């Protein structure tokens, strides 16, 4: 197993409950994400949240980001600070962009919100645009982009804002194979850009999301109980399946993916 330790708690979900009109959607959601410390390098955290369609992943996604209040329970970050809207970079599946601004203008606005980029905004936009193959699209408006291009622009937008927390809803959908590999590589680069950088990925692409994660949270229903909960947590570090190149070819990885599918 790769040498590492887990230290302070970066995010904690404590007894999250959510109900609508008397119907229980989420119940007893409990987990925490800790800072992973690896000798000689900066190591951020990548957590995959996996579950069937309609199970409540999007609702939990919104609660984690501070965009929706739970019926009971709380989400805290940085040990004990209640999460609020704006604390996390959020990338929804519908790829929100300002329709009346060019892609470049939207990215400039995002970069100006990040004090650490002061004076380097244009340089960083150009670098991300090149990395995400969007250089030729910076002068276009969102409606002129394909779905995959809008998605990549939305990811860049949140990366430029510089939050330590990045929540991604279906980041791999609508991407062809070549771009998918590029996006996954870049997300891995983001995850090691800062010790506290934490990515939470909601995806139906089990294999791709697990391949870049250190932890998997499996959402589902339990017999005789209303509402979805975290049925299982898999520590990929303990299984020596985290931070490995070409991990999808390994027997243990394939078995873990099958294990996850069996839990859904």
Query: HSE-up of 235 (CA within 13 Å, CB side)?
Result: 12
In this prediction, residues 239-262 reach a mean pLDDT of: 95
CB under 8 Å to 257, separation ≥6 — which residues?
206, 207, 210
pLDDT of residue 62: 93
**92 has pLDDT over 90:** no
Domain boundaries for CATH 3.40.50.300 within the chain: 5-88+165-175+185-263
Most confidently modeled of 154-163, 176-185, 252-261?
A: 252-261
- Spatial distance between the Cα atoms of 116 and 105, rounded to a whole number of angstroms: 19
**11 has pLDDT over 80:** yes
Q: Is the pTM of this model over 0.85?
A: yes
Say which CATH architecture domain 5-88+165-175+185-263 belongs to. 3-Layer(aba) Sandwich (3.40)
Among 11, 26, 25, CA closest to 82: 11
Please list the alpha-helical segments (H only) found in the chain: 57-65, 103-112, 121-131, 147-161, 177-191, 206-211, 251-263
- Spatial distance between the Cα atoms of 200 and 216, rounded to a whole number of angstroms: 10
**Higher local confidence (pLDDT), 1 or 69:** 69
- Spatial distance between the Cα atoms of 72 and 87, rounded to a whole number of angstroms: 20
**131 has pLDDT over 90:** no
Average pLDDT, the chain: 91
């Amino acid at each position: 197993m790769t040498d590492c330790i887990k230290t302070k708690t970066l995010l904690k979900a404590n007894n999250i409950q959510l109900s609508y009109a008397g119907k229980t959607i989420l119940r007893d959601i409990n987990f925490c994400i800790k800072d992973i410390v690896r000798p000689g390098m900066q190591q951020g955290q990548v957590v995959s949240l996996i579950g069937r369609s309609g199970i409540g992943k999007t609702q939990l996604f919104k609660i984690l980001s501070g965009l929706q209040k739970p019926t009971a329970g709380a989400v805290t970050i940085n040990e004990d600070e209640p999460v609020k809207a704006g604390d996390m970079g959020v990338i929804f599946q519908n790829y929100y962009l300002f329709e009346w601004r060019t892609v470049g203008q939207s990215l400039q606005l995002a970069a100006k919100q990040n004090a650490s980029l002061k004076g380097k905004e244009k340089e960083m936009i150009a670098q991300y645009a090149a990395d995400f193959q969007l250089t030729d699209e910076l002068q276009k408006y969102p409606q002129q982009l394909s779905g995959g291009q809008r998605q990549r622009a939305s990811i860049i937008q949140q990366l430029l804002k510089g939050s330590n927390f990045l929540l991604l809803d279906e980041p791999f959908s609508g991407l062809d194979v070549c771009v998918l590999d590029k996006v996954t590589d870049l997300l891995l680069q983001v995850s090691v850009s800062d010790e506290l950088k934490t990515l939470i990925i909601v995806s139906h692409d089990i294999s791709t999301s697990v391949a870049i994660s250190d932890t998997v949270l499996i959402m589902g229903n339990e017999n005789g109980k209303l509402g979805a909960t975290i049925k299982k947590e898999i520590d990929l570090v303990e299984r020596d399946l985290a931070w490995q190149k070409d991990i999808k070819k390994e027997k243990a990885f394939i078995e873990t993916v099958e294990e996850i599918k069996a839990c859904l």
